[in-house]
Structure formats: structure tokens, C-alpha cells
């Protein structure tokens, strides 16, 4: 176990200690401890209902929007407790961006979708700067070439894969430090999935990326670290190669060999 | 039997209804019994349950007979009128307008004679004696409460008598035809009652036809609305220039004729009051809906929503009285004359005003706007909210920049529906808006609306041959077209909006 | 970009949070305004309407003088009937004079002015009593007469000594007498059952006006609506929901129904006037016509709610019935309809409540502008004889000149709302009791 003191010494971006999540009476996440590194892709895998998405939503406090949800324990980003009373979730979410399972572009133009975050956070001083931010974000989202001629077209008119890349561009436009992805490819076809996976690999250079996936192949393809969740417990966490080749826990082995899940 | 029922004071249609009912019931029992006898007393030998055989009899007896009765009652007035038309000297009919004028005279005299005979003020012989000089009739009819506009001319009396005769004859024939049909139907079913007869299938097909008829009644109502207003509107436009009606700027009905009857001042009043109402209802209703759907916890929602909806359940007459007796005087006490007014401005001279009616109508529309918008806002998918929150937007930013734009078409539809409500609202403006037709921008002045003029032109003494009365139908038709247009557009918008998120 | 700490709120976030608070406050304010309006409305209704349930009565012993009522002295009812209400007025004057003298009240008023404190109904009431109790002629009987509208208004604070300056109907001296008699206990406010059960009264007698007859008118209209709208509405819904093929005809019917639900109610009044009265010659002001018009108006509401309850019955129930060999018709009538019945009933009650409060169409078919003075005696009368209806009666009172009628109108609203609240409460209870989640 790494102690809290040396968290800052290593490359740790997010540190979770004894995290418990309750939905009403249901104990959804039990005693989760994990260190997520900067400039790394970390994958959360596990059977559905195992709590991997729930834990992901704790990292940017999206669970706050659900009335019956209660979180205890300690999650720190750069050493700062994000559940501290002084923390404004609005500021936190600007720092920790999120991409959802189903592409959810706003019913606005492509440009306005991407500009939405920079506008509400006041990241630009004028139109030219905003244009710059939008272009940069769309390039980083690997969709610039496809949409540069129709920035004013509605975002909902794009194909599923394009929509998801637009949502990723939208998320990176606010210059986050961490990017959370909740099964970002589950609604996409294989070609779009490949494009998004490629994108995730590029994003690793600037961000700490956490991705929830139900596909072990995807986890193996895109991530450096993998965490296996089962029934609300973090069963095993380590180098992706190691998890997939020589798991320590029998449950992990059962899952990756297809016996449970 | 019908005669006996009529003697105890029932009107003919009701008496016939009961008679047909009795025939159907007797037919049911006889047919059921006969089917059972033919099957040798064992219901298992029948194709259908015994009661279905009885039902065929009841259905055959009642449905055609009552159907014919309804159609007969609808058609008879028209037939009688056409039969009477040749009795009016061609020289008297100078235009289509005078024809309908004379026909309505005939109708009135005929009704008057019925009343007079029923009350014993006139005998058949008296009427016959007056055939050549019916000048005394006006007074006699006046004494039984039927006031006539002028002395009765001989040909009018003749036509009235003829129409009375036809009416009586028609009613007798109707009674005979209906009873024969009922008995015949029952007899037919009785004869068909055989174990092999597929009674259930016949009954079910009959019921299906009845269900279809019931469903078509909605169409029939619309057709009735349009036709009833259309015919009288055409009569109106024969008497009054349509250009003046639609484009003139003065509304001044005058019972001596030659009135200015233009819709523009009324339309202006209607729209002005509706706009004031929407200015009150839309912001309050919309913000209430936003709060209830985005912010309020389940407990607050469970209390506040039904409480607000009580406002929608209060009858409009209550709002009318509230406008006339509470809000109006309250506004006068603020904006009123000299020493009465709190502000010392002399903007308002009476309780009835655009502002009075508009404010109260606005209150009435708050729950209408809020519950429609609430539904629509709730239909915006949660994923859009999540997307916005995930980017670090506050709740109000999410609502203003994501939820509302997404819900906009639906909300526009809701506002259009509310506008249609406001335009068609009657009681609040009858009591709260005033009766002065004018085109003015001052909200403290009394103005009048389409609906109030419909009420005032069609209540009290009405003469269906004068443009002053008939104009109400042209107003009604305009109102109908206006609200129908708004409704169709609004319902279409709301429907496409809903489908988008389903 | 500089690294910022999450623990420190930056200026921009603070500003955004203030905007958030403001926005939320607008929402709360909107709810508050809506609820405030409801409270003001209810307080106004109750504050101004409860007075109608109390009425000022004058206790007055009247000597039924034989010489005035039965000159021949033979107690022959036919002869006594010849004495009109005018013949009873002197009795009231005398009685009032005697009462004032007995109570020892000093007043310069003539006996006619004293009797003016009584309702114009008093003489008729006295006459009715005498005709019913011929044997009491010659006796002195104690009566409780209605006080005139002005006296009633004075006791209720509506009429003041300032407000009567230009009033022909009452003067300051009369009010002095009223004060004295109130002190004496002869004039007092009591619960007024006649307001709930009685008939409307003419312009000059606001104190005698009641809601009773118009309530009966409303009752008959509701019977017509229930008898027609419920079966037709249910039949139409069953067809549209269970049998109708999906084609352009059913599309038109559906669009039609949702549009009819939004047509202004006054248009239905025009339809009623043109079709039922002008064309079919049904009598003016008859509850039957009112009922027919309200039926057409309520039908779309009932159809929409009935279809919703039919739709909420799961298809598995239909399949189960069809699976044991029931016909489609049998599956609907034996299984679907009974399961949907509570919902249908709830929708019908709500539709009826709507119809009960509707006024505008009734104005056009003549249910205002006259005095519905006696209750119908037979069913046919109840349907065909001219009558008013509760909301029309309220409108009628609101239009009259004497402010005493306004109190009646508010009181009438209380009665109307009691009916509406009861109906809606029944609907809510039904829904709670029978609601089924599939």
C-alpha cells in the first residue's frame, strides 16, 4: 500500500481511499482504494452492475445529481479532497471532463457544442480566441477534417461515431486535466470504435484518461493500467498486461477467461 | 301505447323511446325463449349463448327504429320549410335576405299558434276565421308571450298553418314508422332464432357498428359546428358587406339597422387582452415549471404541483367575478381618478379594462402553461443534462443553455395552446373587459372582444333575420378558424417534439 | 494555464454561483406568486361569500286581523284568496308600529317607513301562511321575516351611513330604528337555509334570492351529460383504441378529437343555439339543451381519458382472453373494460366537474336573464322547462345593479366550489383506491 505522503512524489493524479457509495440502502461500492496516474489510460472492467460506472461518476461528483446517492471516503486529485465542503463541483468538473456512454450532443450547432464549455467557464476573451479553442478541440477530437466546412450544422445530424468524437472534443475544449469515459464505444459500430480508440491513445499524451468498458479486448488495446471490479469491490488493480496474462485473484481469472460476467 | 304515454305528459320522442324500449325488452325475452325451445331446452345445442339470441331481437328492434327517429327529427324542419316556401308570393321575395326574414316570421307565428292553442287562448276555428284578416293575431299572440315584430300578413298565417299541419302529420307518420320498424325488427330476429343461427357474430357486428357511430360523432360535432356557423355567416354576408366586416374599423351595432359591424376593433381587443394574459402567464408558468422539474425535491413537487393545478380547475365564472369585483376595483384604487387613486394618476376610470381582464386571465393560464411546460421539460433526455453537468455547467446554465433550447419547440406549442385558450375565453372578458369597441393602446381603457360581442349579440331579444344578430355567427366562425389554426399548429409542434425524444 | 486549487473558489465561479442562486430564486418566486394568487382567490371567495349564508331576520308578532283578511268571517278559502298581497301590507305596518311602541323606542318614522325595513317578500310570506292556516285568523302569530337587503347590508357592513346619502330605499332614521331593534334583539343575523334551497328573486329583493332552483337545473344537465357522454365516450374510445384500423379515417377522427378538446366553449354554445334551438326547436333555457351542449363539450375530455385507461391495460390480458377462445369483443367487454373502469370513472367525474362549472355556452342558449322561480315538478319539466344553472345564476347576480347580489354571487361560488371539490376528491379517492400498476 502506498501511504498518502508519497502520493505526490510519484505520478499519481487521483488517489481514492476507502470509498463507499450507497444508493439508498444499497451498498454499491465497497472500500475502494486506487491510485490513478497522470498521462496514462486506466481501464475499469467488470461484469455489468459491478460498480465501475458508479465509481467513475464519483471522480467528478456526477453522483451529486442523484438524490439518493451518498459517497463516503476520500478521493483526492493532486492531493486535494474533491469532497471537501469548499470544493465547488462546477469547478471540479471543469478540471475533470466526462464522456458518456451514449453520444449526447446538445441540439445546437457543432461549433456551439464545442464552444459551450469554454463559454461558461470564460476561457476566451474574444471571438477569435474562441474560434481557436474550438478548432484545437475539434482537431484533438480527430473530427476537425470532417466538420470544418459545416461548423454551423446541428451536432445531432452527425453519425454516431462522429457524435461521440464531437462529445470528446467538447470535453477537451475546457482544458481538463482528467478525462473520464463511461463506455464511450458501446453505442458505436466497429469502425467508429477503432477511430475513438485511436483518439484515446493520442489523448494520453496530455491527460489522465479513465475509461470504463465492458469489452476486455478494448481494455487490453487502449489501457496501460486496468482495474477489475466485481460486486462493488475493486478486486485487482495493476498493469494491463499483467492483469490479462497472470491475474492474481481467481475472480479476475474467471472473468477474463469468460467464466463469469 | 305512445298515445297513452303522451297523455301523461311526455313529449313524443320520449314516449317513442320508451315504447321502443319495451318492444326491445319483450323481443329479447321471446327470442331467447324460442331459441331455447328449438334447441330442446339445452343451451349447449345452440351456436351462441341464449342471451345473444335475445340481444339480436333487442338490437334489431331498437337500433333501426331509433336511428330513423333521430334522422327524421333532424330532417323534418327542412322538409317542412321547403314545402311551405311555395306559399309565399314570389313578389314578396325581393332578395335572399327577405326570404329568410319571412321564413323566420312564419316559424315564429307557427310556434306562437302552438302556444296559444295549448294555453286555450285560441281554438282551431278561430284560426280558420282569421285566414283573410289576421291583423288581430299579433295581439292574441302577444298575450300568450309571443311578441311579433309586425302585424301578421295573410300569406304568413297561411304558411304558418300549413307548416303546423305538416308538422303534426310528420310526427304521426314518424310514430307509425318507428313503431313498425321496431316491431318488424323484433319479429325478424324471432323468426331467425334457430340453433344454427350465429347470434353472437351478428350481435358483435352490430355492436361494432354502434362503436363506429359513436366514434364518428366527434366528426359530426365538428361538421355541425362548421355548418351551423357557416350557413348563418353566409346569410350575414348577404346582408352586410364582407369587406366592411373584415376591414372596417368601427363596431357600432344599431337596432334600427345600418350598423357598423367590423371585426377589427374586436380582434384588437381580443389580441391585446390575450397578450397581457400571456405576459403574465408565460414567465410565471415557465419559471414554475422549471423550478418544479429541475430544482424541487419530490416532496415540494407533490405539494406545489397539485396546488397550482387547482387554479386550472376553478371555473372561469369565478375568475370573471374576481376580475369585476376584486382586481378591477383594486387597480382603480392604484391607477384611478384623483383622490381615489393611490398614485394620483388618472389613468383608469372604471373597473373593467384590458389590464383587469388580462391579469386575471393570466392567473388562470399559469397552471396551464406550467403543467404543459413541465411535461415538455421532463421529456428532455437526462443525457443532455449529464453532458452539460459533465462539462462543469451550473444547473441554471444547463437549464438556460441546454434544456430550454432543447424544449423550445414544445414550449412554443404550449404557449400557442395557451394563446388559443386566451382568445376563446369568454367569462373573464364578459365581466372584466368592458363593452367598448375601440382600437387603442391604453391598457387602462375598457375594450371588448370577439367572445363578449358574440354573447351580447346572441342574448336577449334576437332576430335571426337581422345582420346585428347574424354577425355573431360570422364572429364565431372567425374565432373558430383562429383557434383551430392555433391548435392544429400547436398540437403538430408538440407531437413532433415528443416523437423526437421517444 | 496556471494550476488552480479546487479548494479556492475563483471569482468567475463565485459569479456563476450567484447567477445560479438568482435563477433558482426566480423559480421559487414564480411558484410563490402562483400559490399566492390561489390564496388570494380563495380568501376573497370565502371572505365575501360566507355572508350570503347568513341573513338578517326581523322577529315580528303580527295580528291577523279578521276585518282585513276575511271580511265575511266565514273562513272561506276562496274569499280569503281574493285578498292580494297588497291587502296584507297594512298588517305589517300595524305590527311594526306595535312592536316599536312595545319596545319603547322613540322614532319619528311613519309606520310605512318602518315596514320598509322588511323584505318585499314579507307580505307574500304572510299571505302564504294565512292561506295555509286559515283557522289562525284573528290570532297574533310571531313571524321571522327577512329584513330588506339594505338592512341586511347595514348589519353586514356593506351599507353604511355615508353610503346611503343618495339612497331612496333607506334613510338615517330607519337605520337608527334598526340599531335600536338590534339592541332589543328583534333584528338579528341567522343562518339562511333559503339561500341554499330557495329560488332566485327579482332585482328588488336580493335578500330572498337563493341557489336551490338553479342547483336543480345543474343537476338535470349533469344527468343528461352523464347519460349521453359516458356511453358515447366509452364506445368511441373502445372503437378507437381496440378495433380501429390505422388508416387516414381514424387519423382524422383522432386529430379531430384533440382539436375539439381545445375549441372555445362559447363555440359549442353557438352550435347549441343554431342546431338544438333554431333548427330542432327545442325550448330555450331548457336543461336538456344545456345538457346536450355540455355533452358535446365534455365528450373529447372523456374520450381522451378513457383511451388512456384502456391503453394502460396490458396486452397480455387481451391475449389471455383470446387464448381461451373468447371473441375480440368478449375480451374487451369481459376483461379490458372492467379493468379500465376505475380510470374511466375518474375521467368522467373530472369531465362532469368541468361541465358543471362551464358558463359561456349556457348564456347563448338562454339560461340567464330570467328568474327561475320554481322548482320543476316532473322529470319532463326538469328537462324541458326553462331553468338556470349554478354558474349561470352566479353570472346573473354579478350583472345586477344592487351590490347585495354580489354577496349572493360569491356565496353561490362557494356552493359551486363545494360541489367541484367534492367531485374532484371522489375522483382522487377512486384513483388512489383502484390504481393498479402493471
Spell out which residues of chain A touch residue C3, defining contact as CB-CB under 8 Å.
78
Please give the pLDDT value at position B485.
Answer: 92
Using an 8 Å CB-CB cutoff, list chain A residues near C7. Answer: 80, 84, 86-87
Cβ contacts of B286 on chain C, cutoff 8 Å: 30
Kindly tell me if the per-residue pLDDT of A95 is higher than 60: yes
Sheet containing strand C187-191, strands side by side: C140-146, C54-63, C187-191
pLDDT for A8 equals 44
* Residues A18-25, mean pLDDT to the nearest whole number: 90
- For chain B, the chains sharing at least 3 beta-carbon pairs closer than 8 angstroms are A, C
Residue A238 to chain C, least CA–CA distance (Å): 28
User: In chain B, positions 250-309, which contact chain C (CB-CB < 8 Å)?
Assistant: 283-288, 290-292, 294-296, 304, 307-308
| Residues within 8 A of C (CB atoms), B 454-493 only | 454-455, 458-460, 464, 472-473, 476, 479-480, 483-484, 487-488, 491
Q: What is the 3-state secondary structure (H, E, C) of A56-74?
A: HHHHCCHHHHCCCEEEEEE
Instruction: Count up the domains in chain A and report the number.
Output: 1
pLDDT of residue B321: 94
Chain C residue with minimum CA distance to B287: C27
Judging contacts by C-beta atoms under 8 Å, the chain B residues touching residue C360 are: 316, 426-427, 430, 451, 455
Q: Where are the domains of chain B?
A: 2-229, 251-500
Tell me whether B12 touches chain C (CB under 8 Å).
Answer: no
The mean pLDDT value of chain A amounts to 88
pLDDT at C1: 42
pLDDT above 70 (res B5): no
- What percent of chain A is predicted at pLDDT more than 90? 52
Q: Which of B381, B392, B405 sits opposite A117 (nearest CB)?
A: B392
Does residue B96 have a pLDDT over 70? no
Taking an 8 Å cut-off on Cβ atoms, the answer to whether B229 and C274 are in contact is yes
Over residues B454-477, the pLDDT tens digits come to 998 888 767 777 888 889 999 999
CA neighbours closer than 13 Å in the CB half-sphere of residue C39: 7
Least confident of B107-116, B280-289, C328-337, C406-415: B107-116
Look at A87 and C7 and tell me if their CB atoms are within 8 Å. yes
**Tens digits of per-residue pLDDT, C28-68?**
999 999 999 999 999 999 999 998 898 899 888 888 888 77
pLDDT computed for residue C194 by the predictor:
87
Q: pLDDT tens for residues C104-148?
A: 888 878 888 888 888 888 888 888 888 888 888 888 888 888 888
Among residues C83, C109, C84, which one has the least CA distance to residue C97? C109
Q: What is the pLDDT of residues C242-258, one digit of tens each?
A: 998 888 888 888 888 98
Do the beta carbons of residue A44 and residue A212 sit within 8 Å? yes
Q: What is the DSSP letter of B393?
A: -
Chain B hits for C263, CB-CB cut-off 8 Å, are 225, 424, 480, 483-484, 487
**Which tens digit of pLDDT belongs to each residue from A96-118?**
999 999 899 998 899 999 999 99
Do A78 and A10 touch, CB atoms closer than 8 A? no
CB B28 within 8 A of CB B55: yes
pLDDT in tens, B120-163: 777 777 777 777 777 777 777 777 767 776 777 888 888 888 88
User: What local confidence, expressed as pLDDT, does residue B338 receive?
Assistant: 61
Residue A169 has pLDDT above 90, yes or no: yes
CA distance A254 to A252: 5
Please compute the mean of the pLDDT values over residues C174-185 and round it to a whole number: 86
Helices (H), ranges, B120-153: 124-129, 137-143
Residue B315, chain C, CB below 8 Å: the answer is yes
Q: Count CB neighbours of C219 within 10 A.
A: 16
- Residue of chain A whose alpha carbon sits nearest to that of C13: A91
Q: C-alpha grid cell for residue C361?
A: 355556452
- For the CA atoms of A194, A196, A202, A207, the dihedral, rounded to the nearest 10 degrees, stands at -140
* Closest chain C residue to the Cα of B305, Cα to Cα: C31
Nearest alpha-carbon partner for C381 in B9, A233, A71 = B9
| CA-based nearest residue to A116, from A106, A126, A125 | A106
B414 vs B80 pLDDT, higher one? B414
DSSP label at residue C131 = H
Confidence (pLDDT) at B9: 57
Q: What is the pLDDT of residue B417?
A: 92
Cβ distance of C6 and A122 shorter than 8 Å = no
Q: DSSP state, C163?
A: T
In chain A the first and final C-alpha atoms are separated, in Å, by 28
Q: Which of A206-220, B227-241, C102-116 has the lowest mean pLDDT?
A: C102-116
**Chain A partners (3+ C-beta pairs within 8 A):** B, C
Flag whether residue A181 sits within 8 Å of chain C, measured between CB atoms.
no
Model pLDDT, residue B95: 60
Interface check for A92 against chain C (CB to CB < 8 A): the answer is yes
ipTM: 0.91
The string of pLDDT tens digits covering residues B6-53 is 555 567 888 889 999 999 999 999 999 998 888 888 888 888 888 889
Whether pLDDT at C2 is above 50: no
- Give the nearest chain C residue to B81 (CA atoms): C279
A229 bridge partner residues? A234
From chain C, pick out residues whose CB is under 8 angstroms from the CB of A84: 6-7
Q: Which of residues 219-278 of C touch B (CB under 8 A)?
A: 231-233, 235-236, 238-240, 243-244, 252-253, 255-260, 262-271, 273-275, 278
Nearest to A80 among C7, C13, C16 (CB): C7
pLDDT at B3 over 60: no
- CATH code matching the domain that covers B251-500, chosen among 1.20.1050.10, 3.30.590.20, 1.20.210.10, 1.10.3720.10: 1.10.3720.10
CATH number at residue A237: 3.40.50.300
Whole-prediction pTM value? 0.85
Whether A260 and chain C come into contact, CB under 8 Å, resolves to no
The answer, yes or no, to whether residue B103 has pLDDT greater than 80, is no
Instruction: Provide the residue range defining the domain that includes A117.
Output: 4-256
- How close A175 gets to chain C, by Cα (Å)? 9
A186 has a chain B CB within 8 A of its CB? no
What pLDDT is attached to residue B339? 63
In this predicted structure, the answer to whether residue C6 has a pLDDT above a threshold of 70 is yes
Among A67, A97, A102, the residue with its CB nearest the CB of B383 is A102
Q: C212-434 — its CATH code? A: 1.10.3720.10
Q: Does C23 touch chain B (CB under 8 A)?
A: yes
Cβ separation C6–A90 shorter than 8 A:
no
Question: Residues A177, A95: contact at Cβ < 8 Å?
Answer: yes
DSSP code per residue over C239-305: IIIII--SSHHHHHHHHHHHHHTTS-HHHHHHHIIIIIIIIT-PPTT-HHHHHHHHHHHHHHHHHHH
Cell of B28: 329479447
Amino acid at each position: 500500500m502506498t501511504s498518502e505522503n508519497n502520493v505526490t512524489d510519484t505520478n499519481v493524479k487521483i488517489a481514492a481511499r476507502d470509498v463507499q457509495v450507497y444508493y439508498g440502502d444499497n451498498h454499491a461500492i465497497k472500500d475502494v482504494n486506487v491510485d490513478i496516474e497522470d498521462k496514462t489510460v486506466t481501464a475499469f472492467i467488470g461484469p455489468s452492475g459491478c460498480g465501475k460506472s458508479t465509481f467513475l461518476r464519483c471522480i467528478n461528483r456526477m453522483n451529486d445529481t442523484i438524490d439518493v446517492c451518498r459517497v463516503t471516503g476520500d478521493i483526492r486529485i493532486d492531493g486535494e479532497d474533491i469532497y471537501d465542503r469548499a470544493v465547488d463541483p462546477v469547478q471540479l468538473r471543469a478540471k475533470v471532463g466526462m464522456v458518456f456512454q451514449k453520444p449526447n450532443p446538445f441540439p445546437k450547432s457543432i461549433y456551439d457544442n464545442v464552444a459551450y464549455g469554454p463559454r461558461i467557464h470564460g476561457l476566451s476573451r474574444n471571438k477569435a480566441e474562441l474560434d481557436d479553442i474550438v478548432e484545437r478541440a475539434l482537431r484533438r477530437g480527430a473530427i476537425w477534417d470532417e466538420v470544418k466546412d459545416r461548423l454551423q450544422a446541428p451536432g445531432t445530424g452527425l453519425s454516431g461515431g462522429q457524435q461521440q468524437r464531437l462529445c470528446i472534443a467538447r470535453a477537451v475544449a475546457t482544458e481538463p486535466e482528467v478525462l473520464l469515459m463511461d463506455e464511450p464505444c458501446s453505442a458505436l459500430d466497429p469502425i467508429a470504435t477503432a477511430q475513438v480508440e485511436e483518439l484515446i491513445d493520442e489523448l494520453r499524451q496530455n491527460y489522465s484518461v479513465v475509461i470504463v468498458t465492458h469489452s476486455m479486448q478494448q481494455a487490453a488495446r487502449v489501457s496501460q493500467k486496468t482495474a477489475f471490479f466485481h460486486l462493488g469491490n475493486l478486486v485487482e488493480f495493476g498493469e494491463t498486461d499483467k492483469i490479462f496474462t497472470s491475474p492474481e485473484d481467481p475472480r479476475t481469472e474467471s472473468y477474463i477467461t469468460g467464466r463469469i460476467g | 301505447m305512445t298515445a297513452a304515454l303522451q297523455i301523461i305528459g311526455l313529449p313524443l320522442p320520449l314516449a317513442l323511446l320508451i315504447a321502443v324500449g319495451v318492444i326491445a325488452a319483450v323481443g329479447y325475452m321471446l327470442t331467447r325463449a324460442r331459441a331455447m325451445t328449438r334447441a330442446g331446452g339445452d343451451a349447449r345445442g345452440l351456436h351462441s349463448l341464449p342471451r345473444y339470441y335475445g340481444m339480436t331481437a333487442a338490437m334489431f328492434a331498437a337500433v333501426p327504429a331509433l336511428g330513423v327517429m333521430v334522422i327524421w327529427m333532424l330532417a323534418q324542419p327542412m322538409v317542412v320549410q321547403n314545402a311551405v316556401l311555395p306559399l309565399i308570393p314570389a313578389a314578396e321575395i325581393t332578395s335572399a335576405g327577405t326570404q329568410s326574414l319571412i321564413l323566420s316570421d312564419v316559424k315564429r307565428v307557427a310556434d306562437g299558434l302552438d302556444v296559444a292553442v295549448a294555453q286555450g287562448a285560441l281554438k282551431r276555428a278561430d284560426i280558420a276565421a282569421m285566414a283573410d284578416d289576421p291583423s288581430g293575431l299579433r295581439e292574441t299572440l302577444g298575450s300568450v308571450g309571443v311578441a311579433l315584430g309586425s302585424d301578421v300578413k295573410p300569406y304568413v298565417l297561411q304558411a304558418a298553418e300549413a307548416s303546423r299541419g305538416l308538422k303534426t302529420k310528420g310526427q304521426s307518420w314518424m310514430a307509425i314508422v318507428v313503431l313498425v320498424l321496431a316491431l318488424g325488427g323484433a319479429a325478424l330476429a324471432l323468426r331467425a332464432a334457430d340453433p344454427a343461427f350465429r347470434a353472437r357474430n351478428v350481435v358483435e357486428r352490430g355492436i361494432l357498428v354502434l362503436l363506429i357511430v359513436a366514434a364518428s360523432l366527434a366528426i359530426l360535432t365538428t361538421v355541425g359546428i362548421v355548418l351551423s356557423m357557416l350557413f348563418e355567416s353566409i346569410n350575414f354576408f348577404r346582408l352586410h358587406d364582407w369587406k366592411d366586416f373584415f376591414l372596417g374599423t368601427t363596431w357600432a351595432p344599431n337596432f334600427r339597422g345600418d350598423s357598423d359591424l367590423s371585426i377589427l376593433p374586436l380582434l384588437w381587443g381580443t389580441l391585446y387582452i390575450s397578450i397581457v394574459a400571456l405576459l403574465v402567464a408565460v414567465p410565471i408558468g415557465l419559471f414554475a415549471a422549471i423550478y418544479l422539474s429541475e430544482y424541487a425535491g419530490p416532496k415540494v413537487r407533490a405539494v406545489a404541483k397539485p396546488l397550482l393545478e387547482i387554479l386550472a380547475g376553478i371555473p372561469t365564472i369565478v375568475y370573471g367575478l374576481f376580475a369585476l369585483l376584486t382586481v378591477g376595483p383594486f387597480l382603480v384604487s392604484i391607477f384611478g381618478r384623483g383622490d381615489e387613486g393611490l398614485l394620483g394618476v388618472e389613468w383608469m376610470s372604471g373597473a373593467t379594462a384590458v389590464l383587469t381582464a388580462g391579469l386575471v386571465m393570466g392567473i388562470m393560464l399559469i397552471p396551464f402553461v406550467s403543467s404543459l411546460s413541465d411535461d415538455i421539460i421532463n421529456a428532455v433526455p437526462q443525457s443532455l443534462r449529464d453532458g452539460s453537468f459533465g462539462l462543469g455547467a451550473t444547473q441554471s446554465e444547463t437549464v438556460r443553455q441546454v434544456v430550454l433550447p432543447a424544449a423550445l419547440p414544445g414550449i412554443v406549442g404550449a404557449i400557442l395552446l395557451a394563446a388559443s385558450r386566451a382568445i376563446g375565453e369568454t367569462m373573464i372578458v364578459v365581466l372584466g373587459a368592458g363593452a367598448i369597441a375601440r382600437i387603442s393602446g391604453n391598457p387602462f381603457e375598457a375594450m371588448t372582444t370577439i367572445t363578449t360581442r358574440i354573447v351580447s349579440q346572441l342574448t336577449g331579444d334576437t332576430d335571426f333575420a337581422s345582420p346585428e344578430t347574424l354577425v355573431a355567427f360570422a364572429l364565431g366562425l372567425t374565432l373558430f378558424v383562429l383557434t383551430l389554426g392555433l391548435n392544429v399548429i400547436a398540437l403538430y409542434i408538440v407531437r413532433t417534439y415528443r416523437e423526437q425524444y421517444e | 494555464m496556471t494550476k488552480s486549487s479546487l479548494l479556492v473558489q475563483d471569482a468567475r465561479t463565485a459569479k456563476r454561483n450567484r447567477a445560479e442562486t438568482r435563477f433558482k430564486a426566480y423559480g421559487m418566486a414564480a411558484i410563490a406568486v402562483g400559490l399566492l394568487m390561489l390564496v388570494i382567490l380563495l380568501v376573497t371567495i370565502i371572505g365575501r361569500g360566507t355572508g350570503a349564508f347568513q341573513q338578517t331576520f326581523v322577529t315580528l308578532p303580527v295580528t291577523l286581523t279578521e276585518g282585513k283578511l276575511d271580511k265575511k268571517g266565514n273562513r272561506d278559502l276562496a274569499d280569503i284568496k281574493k285578498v292580494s298581497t297588497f291587502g296584507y301590507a297594512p298588517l305589517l305596518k300595524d305590527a311594526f308600529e306595535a312592536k316599536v311602541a312595545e319596545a319603547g323606542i322613540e322614532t319619528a318614522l311613519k309606520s310605512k317607513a318602518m315596514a320598509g325595513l322588511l323584505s318585499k317578500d314579507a307580505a307574500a310570506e304572510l299571505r302564504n301562511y294565512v292561506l295555509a292556516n286559515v283557522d289562525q285568523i284573528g290570532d297574533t302569530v310571531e313571524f321571522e321575516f327577512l329584513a330588506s337587503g339594505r338592512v341586511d347590508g347595514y348589519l353586514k357592513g356593506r351599507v353604511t351611513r355615508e353610503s346611503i346619502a343618495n339612497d331612496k330605499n333607506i334613510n338615517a332614521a330607519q337605520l337608527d330604528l334598526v340599531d335600536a331593534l338590534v339592541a332589543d334583539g328583534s333584528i338579528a343575523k341567522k343562518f339562511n337555509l333559503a339561500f341554499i334551497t330557495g329560488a332566485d328573486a327579482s332585482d328588488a329583493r336580493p335578500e330572498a334570492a337563493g341557489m336551490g332552483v338553479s342547483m336543480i337545473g345543474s343537476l338535470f344537465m349533469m344527468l343528461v351529460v352523464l347519460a349521453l357522454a359516458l356511453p358515447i365516450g366509452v364506445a368511441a374510445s373502445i372503437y378507437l383504441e381496440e378495433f380501429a384500423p390505422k388508416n387516414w379515417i381514424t387519423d382524422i377522427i383522432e386529430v379531430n378529437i384533440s382539436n375539439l378538446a381545445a375549441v372555445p366553449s362559447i363555440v359549442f354554445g353557438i352550435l347549441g343555439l343554431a342546431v338544438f334551438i333554431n333548427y330542432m326547436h327545442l325550448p330555450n333555457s331548457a336543461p336538456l339543451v344545456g345538457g346536450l351542449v355540455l355533452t358535446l363539450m365534455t365528450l373529447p375530455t372523456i374520450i381522451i381519458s378513457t383511451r388512456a385507461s384502456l391503453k394502460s391495460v396490458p396486452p397480455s390480458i387481451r391475449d389471455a382472453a383470446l387464448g381461451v377462445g373468447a371473441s375480440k369483443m368478449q375480451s374487451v367487454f369481459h376483461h379490458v373494460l372492467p379493468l379500465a373502469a376505475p380510470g374511466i370513472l375518474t375521467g368522467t367525474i373530472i369531465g362532469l366537474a368541468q361541465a358543471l362549472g362551464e358558463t359561456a355556452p349556457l348564456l347563448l342558449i338562454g339560461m340567464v336573464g330570467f328568474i327561475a322561480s320554481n322548482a320543476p315538478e316532473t322529470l319532463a319539466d326538469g328537462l324541458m322547462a326553462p331553468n338556470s344553472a349554478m354558474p349561470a345564476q352566479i353570472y346573473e347576480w354579478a350583472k345586477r345593479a344592487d351590490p347585495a347580489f354580489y354577496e349572493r354571487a360569491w356565496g353561490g361560488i362557494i356552493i359551486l366550489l363545494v360541489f367541484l371539490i367534492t367531485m374532484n376528491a371522489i375522483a382522487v379517492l377512486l384513483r388512489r383506491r383502484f390504481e393498479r400498476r402493471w
